[in-house]
């Protein structure tokens, strides 16, 4: 049996095919306050990520290292791209979901529901039909650390879908704190992280699974329960394995929910994404740093595998 480097922990032999004995865990950026929202821009060979409390979005590339992408980001948290390649992000400060147009201007996509302000949109995905799905926990308004302290106006912490026609609707309303979310490769399933154990020990740190039918979700129950910390950001690879943030690193689950293995990271992990020249680099935001690790499987999101078509 080939020995893997110490940052790779095998729980099921299927994990070995998803990594490599020469894999390294490289810290490619450091010195931040709380990193989040990694998203790969293959057309720029660059990674964008948020430093939420410092209110900025940073860019990293192999050739230029770390540069400032946007100052005064409004406590921007989770990021993704739509099929036109535009950046779509969640801002705690303005409590909205915002799209960055190709000319750099910002378009607010959602900021209120039923006449009341959203809590603090946290993470976002865009399905191939152009609908925008996002979570709305209260982390951005429970202190002044990553937003502005305020009482929530919404009666629950919802998951929303903004239709391509611009209609905002609640698709799930029974989370303590919905957080990261991602689709299975064929978009038939949506995984949503429950991170409510951050402030309530009675909430289990689970990833829930929902069947997607058009614009509605059907609850298929708990997909996996984390054994270290709680789930925040997540991504699927092309084989349908789910990679979730956790307290001790990144946990990889098979489509049946089996824990295949872990990438151990020396800082608390908030989120991750696939990218790099062949889609086989995982970028991990972890507290004050960003790490890169080779994984031998590309991400499910098409723009993570090179230039956006």
Q: How far is the CB of 5 from Mg ion (least distance, A)?
A: 28
Q: How far is the CB of 37 from Mg ion (least distance, A)?
A: 8
Q: How far is the CB of 180 from Mg ion (least distance, A)?
A: 5
Residue 301, interface with Mg ion (CB under 5 A)?
no
For Mg ion, the closer CB: 212 or 234: 234
How far apart are alpha carbons 192 and 189 in whole angstroms? Answer: 10
Bridge partner list, 162: 132, 168
For Mg ion, the closer CB: 80 or 179: 179
Phi, psi dihedral angles at 295 (to 5 degrees): -130, 140
For Mg ion, the closer CB: 123 or 136: 123
Strand order, beta sheet including 249-253: 8-10, 259-264, 249-253, 242-246, 234-236
Residue 122, interface with Mg ion (CB under 5 A)?
yes
- In this structure, are residues 126 and 164 in contact, taking their beta carbons and an 8 Å threshold? no
* Integer-rounded Cα radius of gyration of the chain: 18
Residue 177, interface with Mg ion (CB under 5 A)?
no
> How many residues make up the chain in this entry?
309
For Mg ion, the closer CB: 33 or 61: 33
For Mg ion, the closer CB: 198 or 239: 198
Q: How far is the CB of 29 from Mg ion (least distance, A)?
A: 18
Q: Which secondary structure element, helix H or strand E, spans residue 109, and what is its range?
A: strand 106-110
Q: Tell me which residue of 294, 276, 271, 280 sits closest to 32, measured CA to CA.
A: 271
Bridge partner list, 218: 211
Near Mg ion by CB under 5 A: residue from 146, 232, 248, 301: 232
For Mg ion, the closer CB: 18 or 246: 246
> Which region, judged by CB under 5 A, interacts with Mg ion, from 24-32, 51-59, 174-182, 299-307?
174-182
How far apart are alpha carbons 180 and 26 in whole angstroms? Answer: 24
How far apart are alpha carbons 174 and 155 in whole angstroms? Answer: 11
Residue 51, interface with Mg ion (CB under 5 A)?
no
Phi, psi dihedral angles at 7 (to 5 degrees): -85, -5
Q: How many residues bind Mg ion (CB under 5 A)?
A: 4
Near Mg ion by CB under 5 A: residue from 19, 80, 119, 179: 179
Q: How far is the CB of 250 from Mg ion (least distance, A)?
A: 14
Residues within the interface to Mg ion (CB under 5 A): 122-123, 179, 232
């Amino acid at each position: 049996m080939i020995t893997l480097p110490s940052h790779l922990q095998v729980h099921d032999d299927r994990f070995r095919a998803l990594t490599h004995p020469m894999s390294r865990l490289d810290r490619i950026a450091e010195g931040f306050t709380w990193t989040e929202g990694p998203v790969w821009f293959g057309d720029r060979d660059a990674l964008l990520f948020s430093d939420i409390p410092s209110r900025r979005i940073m860019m990293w590339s192999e050739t230029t290292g770390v540069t400032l992408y946007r100052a005064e980001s409004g406590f921007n948290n989770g990021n993704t791209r739509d099929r036109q390649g535009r950046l779509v992000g969640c801002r705690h400060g303005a409590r909205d979901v915002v799209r960055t147009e190709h000319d750099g201007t910002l378009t607010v996509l959602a900021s209120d529901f039923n006449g009341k302000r959203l809590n603090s949109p946290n993470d976002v995905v865009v399905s191939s039909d152009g609908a925008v799905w996002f979570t709305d926990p209260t982390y951005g308004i429970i202190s002044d650390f990553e937003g502005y302290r305020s009482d929530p106006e919404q009666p629950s912490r919802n998951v929303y879908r903004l239709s391509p026609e611009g209609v905002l609707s609640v698709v799930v309303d029974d989370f303590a704190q919905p957080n990261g979310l991602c689709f299975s490769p064929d978009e038939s399933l949506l995984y949503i992280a429950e991170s409510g154990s951050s402030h309530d020990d009675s909430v289990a740190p689970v990833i829930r699974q929902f069947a997607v039918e058009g614009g509605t979700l059907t609850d298929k129950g708990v997909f996996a329960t984390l054994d270290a910390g709680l789930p925040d950001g997540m991504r699927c690879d092309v084989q349908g394995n789910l990679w979730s943030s956790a307290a001790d690193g990144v946990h990889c689950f098979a489509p049946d929910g089996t824990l295949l293995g872990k990438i151990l990271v020396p800082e608390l992990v908030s989120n991750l994404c696939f990218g790099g020249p062949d889609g086989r680099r995982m970028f991990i935001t972890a507290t004050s740093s960003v790490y890169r690790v080779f994984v031998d499987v590309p991400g499910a999101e098409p723009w993570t595998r090179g230039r956006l078509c």
